[in-house]
Amino acid sequence: MADTGIGHHGFNFSSKKRSGSEDQWDREDFIAAKKAMKPMIWEDPAAAISNTRHEFGEHGGVNMSIEASATFTVMEPETMRRMFSGELGPDRDFFIYSRHFNPTVLNLGRLMASLEGTEAAYCTASGMSAISSVLLQLCSSGGHVVASRTLYGGTHALLTHFLPRACNITTSFVDIRDHEMVREAITEGKTKVLYFESMSNPTLAVANVPELCRIAHDKGVLVVVDNTFAPMVLSPARLGADVVIHSISKYISGGADIIAGAVCGPASLVNAMMDLHQGALMLLGPTMNPKVAFELSERIPHLSLRMKEHCNRALVYATRMKKLGLKVIYPGLEDHPDHFILKSLANKDYGYGGILCVDMETEERANRLMNLLQNCSQFGFMAVSLGYYETLMSCSGSSTSSEMNAEEKALAGISPGLVRMSIGYSGTLEQKWSQLEKALSRLNDSGFFQKI
């Protein structure tokens, strides 16, 4: 029988209704499970993925089979009652319905848990569905979140507008580098979550995950980290975070052809989120298609190779662009304020991330640069998202951070001319650099730069 456990271990799904308030029950169960876990031993993410059980196909194929069924049959009528009562679950290869658990999606969850070093993971239909489901599970009406003021625009809008209106959940935004500000923003007994990105979108501020976790945990607050910008590079759960979120659509997919997300954390949290009565994932239904899960499972084994090349080229280009006089923001450069923090926290040999920013000061200049890079030299594409094999460029203030107002952008350090570049790995490094130089030379002809 196939191994269908989530993460490194299977766990018993229980659909029994819980006593007490849903937030209190989930939180107590979550914290108890966290305390019961053995101290984590660091493991290279690529090695951890390789050590995960390989799922073979139904007829012995080297790739797993796709379980495309929406519903599952049972051999005996009594079995269905036992499944709905929580007595039988996916850990024993019993499945009810694919919005609940699906074997193919569970296999991807196992790989994601290995990648992030968590006990379990559940994969969803998008990154935003993963974020919203976790926050709705961990916070009830009247709850409070402390969050970084520099976040992906969609996350910022969720916290600023949707959750207060629809759920009476409020957020205090802080400078994640100012640990005293973080500490003062947390209200014991009311604040439920400290939320931040391991590497911020788009300003590339690097969070001191261990120290932020200490601050939060001292006040009984759970830490949720979005690690979309830095898979393989950083491992927030190994550094103390309780939950790690991913938009799998980005680096993990790598093909700009799939929308998907993941929640990585203790099995008790995933279990609670799939509860038939009070589970955010179960009741909101951001279900991943098993065919998508199969596609993604085939891409994770070479994620480490792709990330190393993304990061290598980003460092080379950032270094050379800085020498040409451009205002480059990249945590791999020693003048970046978080360079040494990242160097101390990063997994060895994975670099400093595959994204760099160039501050062109105004949106007009940013647009001119991107136009030349795409339409004159073919260096990359003007498009949102990241993690593609081609370089993707966007002016953050007018695109992926456009949900923020001018004051919020200023506080977050997002200038009107900030160009975010997700560095690809197609072609050779020197070929693509010559294309970048060509565009910069054309820009220099207009008098913006000194002669290069």
Would you state the structure tokens that stand for residue 360, as one six-digit string? 């062109």
Would you state the structure tokens that stand for residue 50, as one six-digit string? 């390789």
Residue 4 reports pLDDT greater than 70: no
* 3-state secondary structure at position 159: helix
pLDDT of 15 reads 41
Least confident of 138-152, 233-247, 399-413: 399-413
Q: What is the average per-residue pLDDT within 127-156? A: 96
pLDDT of 214 reads 97
Residue 206 phi, psi (nearest 5): -105, 125
Cβ atoms of 441 and 178 closer than 8 Å: no
Residue 269 reports pLDDT greater than 60: yes
DSSP string for 125-151: S-HHHHHHHHHHHH--TT-EEEEESS-
Q: Which stretch of DSSP H or E encloses residue 193?
A: strand 191-197
pLDDT tens-digit readout, 12-51: 444 444 444 444 445 666 665 565 666 666 789 999 999 9
| Percent of the chain whose pLDDT exceeds 70 | 89
The confidence band for 452, taking pLDDT boundaries of 50, 70 and 90, is: very low
Residue 243 reports pLDDT greater than 70: yes
The confidence band for 252, taking pLDDT boundaries of 50, 70 and 90, is: very high
The confidence band for 11, taking pLDDT boundaries of 50, 70 and 90, is: very low
Mean pLDDT across the chain: 90
The one-letter amino acid at 8: H
Measured between alpha carbons, how far apart are the two ends of the chain, in Å?
A: 64
Looking up tokens 């009830």, which residue turns up? 140
pLDDT tens-digit readout, 40-77: 667 899 999 999 988 898 889 999 999 999 999 999 99
pLDDT tens-digit readout, 402-450: 777 777 877 777 788 899 999 999 999 999 999 999 999 998 876 665 4
pLDDT tens-digit readout, 78-106: 999 999 988 999 989 999 989 999 999 99
pLDDT of 411 reads 76
Classify residue 63 by its DSSP letter.
S
pLDDT of 21 reads 45
CA atoms within 13 A on the CB side of 252: 35
| Percent of the chain whose pLDDT exceeds 90 | 78
What is the C-alpha to C-alpha distance for residues 181 and 169, in angstroms, rounded to an integer?
20
What is the C-alpha to C-alpha distance for residues 154 and 376, in angstroms, rounded to an integer?
32
What is the C-alpha to C-alpha distance for residues 152 and 261, in angstroms, rounded to an integer?
14
pLDDT tens-digit readout, 332-382: 999 999 999 999 999 999 999 999 999 998 988 999 999 999 999 999 999
What is the C-alpha to C-alpha distance for residues 221 and 415, in angstroms, rounded to an integer?
32
